Homo-oligomer: A and B are copies of this chain.
Amino acid sequence: MSRWKPDARGRLEKAALELFNHQGFDATTVAEIAARAEVTERTFYRHFVDKREVLFQPNALADVLAHATAAADTPAPLEVITHALTEAAPVFEERAELVRQRQAVIAANPELQERELTKQASLVSTLDRALRERGLDATTAALAAAIGIAAFKVAFERWIDDPDQRNLAQHIRETLDATRHLTAPAEHAAATDASFQDQENVA
């Protein structure tokens, strides 16, 4: 602490995530986080209410989702969602390494998982509201919002574990594309109409 260093908040976050991962969230104290970041505890509390807030900082995600949903230039609900979620991808991509560390901490702690589920539920509400403001009926909006966040979670987990390090936006587009196949009535559904037509032509 002999010399002032810039970005205390960033160093506190990095220190906290390292300690949470090395020794567990519950076992880590604010004093340890501050010491590792080479700041005082008082500085920690200028940036965060408590150690949990390091993991659940307010971020731009909900705002970006709401604005991108309002701005999407297509009437198809799944395309609106694809647009909104890919617009939100940089919120995570810009901090990929911290996001991965955070995810590992949460995966190791059931209480943090509950908090994370609550945060995800509030994102579903945000998306739901934004879709209703576009004129979607309540059921369609609720369903589209729930599917959107569900697809986002799957895309996010694929991105976190991706050995090829393709970007999150790509995973989001692939995952939402996969929902089209999923919801088709037969196994190779994309071609169903065409092949029925072919059979009729042959007959």
Copies of this chain assembled into the complex: 2
Distance to closest chain B CB from A131 (angstroms)? 10
A interface residues, how many (CB within 8 angstroms): 40
A117 interface neighbour in B114, B147, B187, Cβ under 8 Å: B114
Closest to A152 in B: B146
**Which residues of the other chain, B, contact A78 by a CB distance below 8 angstroms?**
182-185
Interface contact A143-B76, CB-CB below 8 Å: no
A59: Cβ under 8 A from any B Cβ: no
Q: Is the interface of A mostly helix, strand, loop or mixed?
A: helix
- Give the distance in Å from the alpha carbon of A185 to the alpha carbon of B76 in the complex: 6
Distance to closest chain B CB from A99 (angstroms)? 19
Interface contact A146-B139, CB-CB below 8 Å: no
Interface contact B113-A142, CB-CB below 8 Å: no
Interface contact B146-A153, CB-CB below 8 Å: yes
- Give the distance in Å from the alpha carbon of A117 to the alpha carbon of B153 in the complex: 15
Q: Which of A115, A183, A189 has the most CB of B within 10 A?
A: A183
Which chain A residues in 115-174 approach chain B with CB under 8 Å? 115, 117-118, 121, 139-140, 142-144, 146-147, 149-151, 153-154, 157-158
A143 interface neighbour in B143, B154, B184, Cβ under 8 Å: B154
Q: Which residues in A have some Cβ–Cβ distance to B below 8 Å?
A: 75-79, 113-115, 117-118, 121, 139-140, 142-144, 146-147, 149-151, 153-154, 157-158, 175, 178-187, 189, 193-194, 197
